[in-house]
Chains A and B, each alone.
Chain A
Amino acid sequence: MKLQNIRMVVHLSCEEASRLASAALDRDLSRSERWGLRLHTLICGSCRRMQRQLDAFRKLATSMPDSARQQIRDAMPHLSADRKQQIKRLLADTSRADQG
């Protein structure tokens, strides 16, 4: 490994480790990245826990029931009823004006 990679392996902060643990869910880490993360989590209990829990998120998502999907949809932002009415009124006025 190159010298700067060795340095990185030894000096990872928890923030950097968390970035790598997250990235590992989406792509393959390089060898120095993997070593850096592994060494850090060997000595840092907080980051060991973080990594386990990030992995658990992935498992959660894949075992998500349909009812959960609906719950998540229901909690997402919506246009208020008033705002929907306002937009519909505007559209109705505009289409009437076009025909009139």
Chain B
Amino acid sequence: MRTVEEAMTVNSEPKVPQLGDPTRWVDRYGDALLRFALSRVGRPEVAEDLVQETFLAAWKARESFDARASFGTWLCGILRRKIADHYRRSGREPLVELEAVDTEGSLFSKRGKWLEGASRWKETPEQLAENSEFWGVLAGCLASLPAHLAQAFQLRELRMASMEEVCAATGITPKNLSVRLHRARLLLRRCLDQKWFRSGA
């Protein structure tokens, strides 16, 4: 399992002065930046705009890139500031905006009882893990979760060491994380129930 530090450094990362062709930054870091932005900001169009602004700002500030840090982390820092600016401008609260995209609905009644039953899992985890079709379904379910919930699950369970992990590492409180993991796990379970276990695949 890679350490966070190893994950931070993409192979042959640009160092000053050879920052290289800025258009290649988009290929190398664009998706990771987008996923981090999505986990912080409700709407995809806003997330994409913030990523675009980040690249432009990075180009303008390229002289100030300190070669001691990793380039990915530096881009992250710019994106974080852009996200903070976004919230200041819009006057919205980050958590409220994220909750607005969590439209998956309630799993429990007002009295805390389950709203839906869940099927039994006939296969063992080991059997499921060997099945690539199952992972395809799980990947789809993860992708359908609100980004901040998928991110929490990926970081905690799948150890998908990536730049997002570095960005996110100092982002949320343990209590916050606990709430997100709880919701992510139950929503994933429900999605798998619908798409895998119930359909008798």
Residues of A within 8 A of B (CB): 13-16, 18-19, 22-23, 25-26, 46, 49-50, 52-54, 56-61, 63-65, 67-69, 71-79, 83-84, 86-88, 90-92, 94-95
Contacts and interface: CB of A to CB of B under 8 A. Distances in A.
A15 B106 CA distance: 11
Interface of B: 22-23, 25-27, 30-31, 34-35, 38, 44, 48, 51-52, 55-56, 59-60, 107-108, 111-114, 117-118, 120-121, 124-126, 128-130, 132, 135-136, 138-140, 142-143, 147, 150, 154, 156-160, 177-178, 181-182, 185-186, 188-189
Contacts of B34: 77-79
B125 A56 contact: yes
Contacts of B147: 77
Contacts of B107: 15
Contacts of B112: 13-16
Contacts of A19: 182
Contacts of A13: 108, 111-113
A48 B31 CA distance: 39
B30 A59 contact: no
Contacts of B139: 68, 71-72, 74-75
Contacts of A23: 178, 182
A58 B158 contact: no
A49 B22 contact: no
B30 A22 contact: no
A92 B23 contact: yes
B189 A71 contact: no
A68 B22 contact: no
A92 B111 CA distance: 57
A26 B59 contact: no
B158 A53 contact: no
B181 A86 contact: no
B125 A84 contact: no
A72 B132 CA distance: 11
Given A19-B182, A87-B30, A88-B26, A75 B48 contact: no
A72 B30 contact: no
A77 B182 contact: no
Given A13-B112, A14-B108, A67 B132 contact: yes
22 contacts: A14-B114, A16-B112, A18-B182, A22-B186, A46-B118, A49-B120, A50-B186, A53-B121, A64-B135, A65-B129, A69-B158, A71-B139, A72-B158, A75-B142, A76-B150, A77-B31, A77-B35, A79-B48, A90-B56, A91-B26, A91-B56, A92-B23
